[in-house]
Structure 1
Amino acid sequence: MRSAVVASFRKFTYFLFITLLLKLLPLQAIAETFQGAFIKKEQLKKSKIILVAQNYRESEQKILQGCITDMCSFRDVLLKKGFPEWCITELTDAEQPLTHDRITQCIKTLAQQSQTDKTIECVILGFWGHGKQVLDQSGDESDGLDEAYETSDKPITDDCLYSILKKFRNDMNIVVYADCCHARTITDMPTMLTFDSATQKVVKSVSKHREGDSIGAKVLTISACDDSEGAKEVSPWLLADPAEENVFLSKGIQDDISDRDSSMETSSYLSDSISPNCSNFSSVCGSPRERSIEPDMGLSLSSQEPLPKMGVMTSHVLALLKESQPLSIAGLLQGLCQNIPAGFCQTPCISLNFEVDESQLSLFD
């Protein structure tokens, strides 16, 4: 009888201890938290990479100059990281325009392959080109707008990308990189990491936008800017000399831009802020990667080849990825937000769909 009482008391004490522990510990401490490298060194040869870049020279959209160059630079850094060349598929419009179906079918085929080929553990999807906002067709957006990547015929919306990402095997890790306008929620991931310039800290927020409709694979999205912003491309010499960049942006331009409503078209708030002595602004600061923006700052390029350009986002990302020591995603985001001048009016962000200690997770080993 006594042993039964002792056993019951022990069970009650254990139950009480567990109950108190669950109340004292924060929920995120109990959930599995991803740490280390998102794509480990031993997974480099078990990865598949699809890189999509468009300059729109044979399309109706506004011509860009730096997207294919950006993609090639991004690919070269991946090769130096140890990814084999045979795992990379490149889709560009250098020879013919890229259609919605050609791009999405390529990704869908890889997703289907991943279901049966267990050797594919990681995927990287990269997008360079025009981003835009279109009317929400599914009714799931609070602002009534879907974010989309522009192709030669019709845009690839965030809803479309989300549905394709759901087709990948559940135990995979996927990186999505988007250097285009309005890219913040291009994959509609629930957890958003942003950098607070006032506190100099990375801030995490969670959205219930896709609650109950989750993707099985772990997805980490790196976006060039907010949904209301444009991603810029600039002349290489401007990026190579930060001092020149800061001097240029300090000529009455930076304050004017930062004071404008971010919902305004970039073409209007940039042109309003140009000083009379900066008529060549479009060649120096480049143009946003957005179809609706057609800046004309007085520089005629009809009689000469356009100056080469590089994406502000991609240039800074590659510089940080070349660091010898692995950089946490918090460090990557902080570095981007601190290094990209405010005058460019683009705010990089990272979104994902899994629990993470952003200070302990890096992209690569």
Structure 2
Amino acid sequence: MSTAPSTGDYIGLPSALPSAITETKHFFQALDNFTRTFAFRPGDRVLMLADPLLDPRVMDAVQGHARARGATVRVYMEPNSRVTEVPQECKAMVEAATFVVSTWFCSIIDPYFIAMRKRGQRWVKITYFRNLDLLHTEQARFPIELIGEITRATARRYPQGVPFDLRFTDQRGSDFKISFTPTMRDNMLATNRWRGKTTADEDGCYVHYLASHGPNLWDHNAVKNDLTQTTQMSGVLYPQWAVGFRAPFAERIGVHFDGEYVSRVEGESSDAALLREMLVGGRMIEGGGCGFNPKAPRHTIYPAGSNSPGALHFGIDLVKPADYIRRTMPDWEEPPVHVDLVTLDATVTAGDNMLVESGFLCALRDPEVVRLAQRYGDPLDLLEAQVL
């Protein structure tokens, strides 16, 4: 009488190669992305805006690379990364810098920092590079040129020269629209991240490292960061999850909007009650923050939403600090006045053009993206083999 083998006896897939065979070549792939992203020039005056929880090896890596390029580095540290505006005593150091590396929350939105970039200051935001060990991940070694091409292929799907609606739907009943004018479209897509720039070699640039986070399918770059301008939007989102919640929601929770502001939250669960307390009156500032790195983990949404292609986060600025966030994430990289709602299966259209279909970023199959991917390996493996 024969007995079936146990599950552990079945071998139908190859075993992972020993790290001794792969780790060196993988590390040098990631290191090449690192050195080209931090595109220091001889004579650059680099300022790191840091916080005490940043891995000191990250600071050492930046300083060592800068020294190799003939640049100098100074470090200014705040008690945490939740800085909401530039401290007055720091401004002289910012003024003197030609290149800024920052962990601070206000990096993208502070008017002073925006003005410095308009004067040519180059920036790298390192929300996703707080630990040097991240250099040993798949997302760190994914070709940054390919991320740029995926981003540009998505931008090409925005209608040009005509008004259109950016529409978000999903199987839970989400139906949310943001109205674009041709000027809004041109303003937003002119930013360096939408042009697929992943290295900080262009005067006035702002890039993320690790290269994965954003750009947003809509944000206030569409109105040149003039927060007094109102963007027409409305509808309901049924997010699957939110940053700060241990697991996806068991209940179908509806977040309703009246223009840019949350008008009500429907649902009976404790999660719905928490969201209702936090969100009502809050303002949408990121409409569909999208991931563009196919090797970013799909189901890791901390600290600011999954960066896997087609996964979306919707950033809401709150009316007041949320006690729930202060209790559950006291060391979060963002202040407790912000909530990121997450969907992993949305469909997004820009006019008649499909950007995302059921959580799949359509640009991954764009002919120019596939053609470029062939330079680095098997396009299916690079573009569609997700890291869960």
TM-score by length of 1: 0.34
RCO greater where, 1 or 2, for CA within 8 Å and sep 6 or more?
1
- Counting helix residues as a fraction of each chain, which structure ranks higher? 1
Larger Rg: 1
